[in-house]
């Protein structure tokens, strides 16, 4: 027998305010046509001025708890993957824990940019399998709009706000691929590329929050290679082929990156959950938002094999194979 981290509930939250490409074209020199052609994005949700990352995380977390049939009092670890914390300190997870009600248990944030949710799954899975936690609420939550330079057309059209959450519980398994739960996680980073996608502010450098700066074409090139590599790594580690995977739930940065990855891997396009049209790139929130979309509309079913992959600033990248 072995311990597995089983996803018991999935939740999501998107701010009410929707901004279309045409609305952005009134602010910067761009067009709906350019944005759709180059990225696949049609619209994005943007948080209200009084909506913080913790508010988004709490809403998504509450939905995940409800669907798992438990309350915040049953959770023994709160983790938020985010690049846009409410404050430099404390961790956004501390505010989520306070709102959802279980003082005394650990709460912390994970910063791995767009790979944050996959990093979170790995950390939480390790905590569960070594007995440190039994029921974890893991959220990916972002108000990326706060670090977007709205004068910069090369980045401002790409991002959106939102949050997704999963409840993971320790369950006994027999230790095969048929078991429900996280089957494997694979993490990577290459800090030599830290300046290809970064924020030009920070506590110890400028004492300002700063804005996203990106060498888009370079990031694109690395993304396609790294994402395909980590998917293949996950398949090899579990001795399966891409045909065995029921759903690919990728980080949603750009439809062209998704299409190129699909082509490289030879997966059927109908097996890929795509939300980038409506959500844009929500960084650490994009995978749990896409997962929740697939679960909510009935495509992703219990017992199916789901492969998640992400790549982001750092660079960081990684994958997670989960039996739902």
Which residues are marked as active site?
114, 251, 281
Residue selected from 253, 291, 292, 306 as contacting ligand UT7 according to rule CB under 6 A: 253
Between 181 and 312, whose beta carbon lies closer to ligand UT7? 312
Note whether 216 binds ligand UT7 by CB under 6 A. yes
Q: How far is the CB of 223 from ligand UT7 (least distance, A)?
A: 5
Six token digits for residue 113: 């940019």
Task: Check residue 279 for interaction with ligand UT7 (CB under 6 A).
Answer: no
Residue keyed to tokens 């998917």: 231
Answer for which of 17, 154, 184, 193 binds ligand UT7 (CB under 6 A) is 154
Residue 39 makes contact with ligand UT7 by CB under 6 A: yes
Q: 136: which residues sit within 8 A by CB, 6+ positions away?
A: 5, 75, 76, 77, 78, 79, 124, 127, 128, 167, 168, 169
DSSP, residue by residue, 164-178: EEEEEEEEEE-SSTT
Applying CB under 6 A, which of residues 179, 210, 220, 246 lies at the interface with ligand UT7? Answer: 220
Instruction: By CB under 6 A, name the one of 53, 82, 254, 275 that touches ligand UT7.
Output: 254
Residue of 136, 143, 226, 225 lying closest to 181 (CA atoms): 136
State the minimum distance, in angstroms, from the CB of residue 172 to ligand UT7.
37
Among residues 47, 65, 196, 197, the one that binds ligand UT7 under rule CB under 6 A:
197
- Binding to ligand UT7 (CB under 6 A) within 84-143 occurs at 114
Burial class (CB in 10 A: 0-12, 13-18, 19+), 187: middle
Nearer to ligand UT7 among residue 33 and residue 244 (C-beta): 33
Task: Check binding of 40 to ligand UT7 (CB under 6 A).
Answer: no
Cis amide leading into 315 (omega within 30):
yes
Q: Are 133 and 127 in contact (CB under 8 A)?
A: yes
Q: How many residues bind ligand UT7 (CB under 6 A)?
A: 21
């Amino acid at each position: 027998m072995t311990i597995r981290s089983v996803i018991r509930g999935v939740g999501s939250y998107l701010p009410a305010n929707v901004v279309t490409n045409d609305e952005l074209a009134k602010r910067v020199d761009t067009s709906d046509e350019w944005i759709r052609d180059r990225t696949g994005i049609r619209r994005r949700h943007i948080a209200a001025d009084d909506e913080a990352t913790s508010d988004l995380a709490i809403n998504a977390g509450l939905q995940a708890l409800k669907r798992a049939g438990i309350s915040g009092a049953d959770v023994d670890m709160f983790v938020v993957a985010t690049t846009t914390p409410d404050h430099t300190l404390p961790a956004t997870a501390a505010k989520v824990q306070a709102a959802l009600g279980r003082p005394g248990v650990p709460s912390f944030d994970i910063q791995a940019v767009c790979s944050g949710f996959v990093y979170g799954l790995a950390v939480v899975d390790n905590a569960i399998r070594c007995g440190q936690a039994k029921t974890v609420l893991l959220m990916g939550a972002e108000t990326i709009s706060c670090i977007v330079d709205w004068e910069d057309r090369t980045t401002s059209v790409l991002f959106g706000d939102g949050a997704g959450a999963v409840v993971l519980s320790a369950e006994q398994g027999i230790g095969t691929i048929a078991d429900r739960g996280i089957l494997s996680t694979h993490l990577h980073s290459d800090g030599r590329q830290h300046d290809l996608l970064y924020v030009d502010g920070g506590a110890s450098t400028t004492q300002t929050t700063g804005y996203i700066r990106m060498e888009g074409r370079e990031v694109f090139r690395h993304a396609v290679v790294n994402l395909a590599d980590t998917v293949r790594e996950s398949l090899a580690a579990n001795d399966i082929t891409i045909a065995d995977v029921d759903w690919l739930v990728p980080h949603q940065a750009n439809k062209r990156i998704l299409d190129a990855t699909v082509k490289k891997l030879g997966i059927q396009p109908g097996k890929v959950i795509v939300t980038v049209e409506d959500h844009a790139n929500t960084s650490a929130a994009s995978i749990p938002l896409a997962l929740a979309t697939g679960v909510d509309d009935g495509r992703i079913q219990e017992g199916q094999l789901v492969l998640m992959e992400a790549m982001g600033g750092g660079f960081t990248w990684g994958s997670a194979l989960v039996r739902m």
